Structure 1
Amino acid sequence: MTRLGFVVNPIAGMGGRVGLKGTDGMVAEARERGAEPRAPDRAREAIEAFLGREPDATIVTAEAPMGADAVREAGGDPQVVYSPEADAYTETSSQDTSAAVEAILDAGVDLVCFVGGDGTAVDVAEVINAVGSDTPMLGVPAGVKIYSAVFGVTPADAGRVAATFDDVEPREVNDIDEAAYREGTVRSELKAVVRVPVTRSVQSGKQLARGTIDTVAAGYARGIEDGRTYVFGPGGTVGSIESELDIDASPLGVDVWRDGSVLVRDGSEDEILESIESPTTVVVSPIGGQGFIFGRGNHQLSPAVLGRADEIDVVASDEKLDALDVLRVDIDDAELAESLRGWQEVRTGRFTTRLIKVE
């Protein structure tokens, strides 16, 4: 019978929608800005998918808010091996994650499944390597930074993979400097190599290389419409469009612009919603190597924001698209996510476009 190790970082991803680009050391500020936890719902979704395929499995976990609550809500009966001092209203720490993972490994499991982002992945990987375990690990995406190649594409995908995988391979765990990230610099560092289930439902690592995008920017700028609100997502490709329009862009934030004026720079979800007026276009570029257009590094572009847009434009160089089989979305609104799936036209040059499927 399968024994699944399960641990949740309950504060993962709280900084995303409020524009903090991460939660490391920023939980208090995130809460002051009105951030709500997203990890608990994603944890429950993953466990529901897992139990749908392995109803008799044993789930070894930490007490609430680090896993047991999500298992119970999903209809499971958790085996609790660690209890954090923090409760649902206080902040757990990376030390709690490490202690929980060590206790889970001591109990004997077939897989360590964690809910969080790259920082949580590092904590889990460091414990696995430190104790010399060959137990594989798998991430349920909940953080803002999700560049490592150890995460399921969606929470449900992670749950299904945890229940059905039959092979593993070495994958990289990377993390970035959040302080530098908030200033617009992606500074990635390899932290560990771990064993991860092999399937298309586990994302690849993010490619940080930047292709030639001048013609994409020039072509897009030619089609700007007067009276339309443009919500520009993060990243170098979209940033080049903003530069073409003489916008002082926030390289890794979300900007709102209309008729030559920047209405919001590096905005939170609430600031974006307050500034946009119809008609509205959201402009994004997929993450290289992964293909995500929503749900990785741009949580400010929430379902509420996307619901206010009448157009979504995707831009990318041919080099970036050549490395992608599909585009992906991972947002907390199943109906909206489904509406975004299908064939998407992507601008790839001054006059050229390509069709690629969104899954």
Structure 2
Amino acid sequence: MKPFRLGLVINPLAGLGGSVGLKGSDGVAQLAIEKGAEPKSHLRMQQALEVIQPFKDRIEVITANDQMGETLAKQLGFNTQVAYISEPMIEQDGFRTSAQDTKNAVHAIISQPLDLLLFAGGDGTARDVYAVVQDTVPVLGVPAGVKIHSGVYGITPHASGLVVKMLLEGELVSLMSADVMDIDETEFRQGNVKAKRFGEMLVPAEPRYVQAVKMGGKEVDELVLADIAADVIESMEDELFIMGSGSTVAAIMEDLYLENTLLGVDVIQDKQLLATDVTAQQLLELTQNQPTKLVITLIGGQGHVLGRGNQQLSPSLIKQLGKDNILIVATKTKLKALEGRPLIVDSGDPELDKALSGYYKVITGYHDYVMYQVANPDLVE
């Protein structure tokens, strides 16, 4: 049987700035490392590849050297061919690659016959891949960045692996065109979202596992947001409250007359601001041995509540808090737009994601709640 030829590219710097509150990695990788960030993209790709590891004898991986794919593919036992050798900057604390390395690697890989190009990164990586591929080769992204607005990614790394598994098992998987989106990270760090469409790439069309393009725009129903805010504020006592990102959470902060980091995470106590735009490590330190609740909302159109733009909310923090201390807030309009699809947790820890699954009481107004499922469709057999 002819082997399945899988192109593989990992952006080693993807998502590096998320856990330390930098809202991305473009141009700030060194600063992120200095703040204590650790690369995660290879672990995200590993979660995807482990799904298809049982098929490794039928797969030929074409990739780039070292941390761009070779090391992981060989570690997992795949037949691996290196098509591109990068010339990274070697610094005291490790391996570096550039956007140009990604483009060069993709160009070298797709110059050979290929069934699918699988890449790990964020929206910046998707742009780099699109600059070379455009719509000539089917691609699929493994979400590893801070910003995931593009529609070319699986909803989780495991889900990306399941799509490849479907192809390997000969299931009928159509191809569709999906938008490549990105935002200006400089503006993003100032709290301004300026998204731009760069083009389309061909992706395997599997709605359960491939995410939709993020819906833009703020909530405009001020009365509903005010009701949600009133309910949450009424419940605030002596505990710490971690306030996640997003416009619905921002409405609560506005009603408290507190400064808000729209695209970051803040901490309040006694209805006063304790810390602003905090990192993952700061959150662990602030909340250790302290009763704490987490207030989060979903990304419109996608349904993610963890793992998109809030990587400061680390698996260690979520385990420390416990499932019962998570408050989900959302308007019914946003929930209805999901058309019955569950809310998604993609914390980076698959076992934790399983533990977080179930039905939650979502705050949709003042003393107004709906029961809504939180799950990972990719973990359901």
TM category, shorter: over 0.9
- Structure 1: segments with no counterpart, 5+ residues: none
Match in the other structure for 2:257: 246
Q: In the alignment, is residue 182 of structure 1 matched against residue 189 of structure 2?
A: yes
Tell me if 1:357 matches 2:378: no
Residue number in structure 2 paired with 1:157: 159
- Tell me whether 1:232 sits opposite 2:243 in the alignment: yes
Corresponding residue of 1:122: 127
State the Cα distance separating 1:77 from its structure 2 match.
2.3
State whether residues 111 and 138 of structure 1, in contact with CA within 8 Å, keep that contact through their aligned partners in structure 2: yes
Query: How many Å separate the matches in 2 of 1:173 and 1:52?
Result: 31
Preserved contact between residue 9 and residue 66 of structure 1 (Cα < 8 Å):
yes
Contact 1:22 1:144 in 2 (8 A): yes
Query: 1:289 aligns to what?
Result: 301
Query: What's 2:35 paired with?
Result: 33
Kept after mapping to 2: 8 A contact 1:263/1:275? no
Whether 2:20 is the aligned partner of 1:18: answer yes
Partner of 1:201: 209
C-alpha displacement at 1:93, in angstroms?
0.6
Deviation, structure 1 residue 51: 2.6
Aligned equivalents of 1:203, 1:299: Cα separation in 2: 18
Any idea what the Cα deviations from partners look like across 1:123-152, whole Å, max 9, x if unmatched?
Answer: 1011012xxx52111000100001111111
How far off is 1:68 after superposition?
Answer: 0.8
Among 98, 103, 111, which residue is 2:116 paired with?
111
1:315 corresponding residue in structure 2: 329
Deviations 1:171-224 (A, max 9, x none): 101001111111111110001111111111011111113232222122222222
Q: What is the percent sequence identity of the aligned residues?
A: 40
Indicate whether 1:279 and 2:308 are aligned.
Answer: no
Residue equivalent to 1:171: 178
After superposition, the C-alpha distances for 1:63-121 in whole angstroms (9 at most, x for unaligned) are 11100111112221211100101269132011110011111110110111100000000
Structure 2 contact 241–294 (Cα < 8 Å) conserved: yes
| Residue 191 (1) aligns with residue 193 (2) | no
**Does structure 2 conserve the Cα–Cα contact (< 8 Å) formed by 1:228 and 1:258?**
yes
- How far has the Cα of 1:54 moved from its partner? 5.2
1:349, 1:54 → 2: CA distance? 50
Query: What's the offset of the Cα at 1:153?
Result: 1.4
Q: Deviations over 1:209-249 (max 9, x none)?
A: 32322221222222222x11100001110011111112111
What amino acid does structure 1 have at the position aligned with 2:350?
A: A
- CA–CA separation in structure 1 for the residues paired with 2:272 and 2:199: 44
Matched, 1:93 2:98: yes
Structure 1 residues 20, 244: closer, same or farther in 2, change over 3 A? same
- Matched position secondary structure for 2:95: coil
SS at match of 2:177: strand
CA distance in 2, matches of 1:344, 1:224: 19
Q: Determine whether 1:47 maps to 2:49.
A: yes
Select 1:84's aligned residue among 61, 83, 86: 86
Gaps of 5+ in 2: 168-172, 376-381
Counterpart of 1:290 in 2: which secondary structure? coil
- Decide whether the 8 Å contact of 1:4 with 1:111 is kept in 2: yes
Number of equivalent positions: 355
Partners of 2:298 and 2:343 in 1: how far apart?
7
Query: What is residue 268 of structure 1 aligned with on the other side?
Result: 279
CA distance in 1, matches of 2:217, 2:20: 27
Q: In 1, Cα distance between the equivalents of 2:47 and 2:321?
A: 27
AA aligned opposite 2:108: A
CA distance in 1, matches of 2:54, 2:300: 32
Question: Partners in 1 of 2:161 and 2:52 — Cα distance?
Answer: 4
Q: Is the 8 A contact 1:278 1:309 kept in 2?
A: no
Q: Note if contact 1:264-1:272 (Cα within 8 Å) is conserved in structure 2.
A: no
**C-alpha contact 1:47 1:70 (8 A) present in aligned 2:** no
TM-score under structure 2 length normalisation: 0.90
In 1, distance between residues paired with 2:204 and 2:354?
26
- 1:256 paired with 2:267, answer yes
Partner amino acid, structure 1, of 2:360: Q
Partners in 1 of 2:353 and 2:45 — Cα distance? 18
1:210 aligns with 2:204: no
Q: Is the Cα–Cα contact under 8 Å of residues 236 and 271 in structure 2 kept in the other structure?
A: no
Q: Alpha-carbon deviation of 1:53?
A: 4.0
**1:298 paired residue number:** 310
Equivalent residues of 1:254, 1:300 under 8 A apart: yes
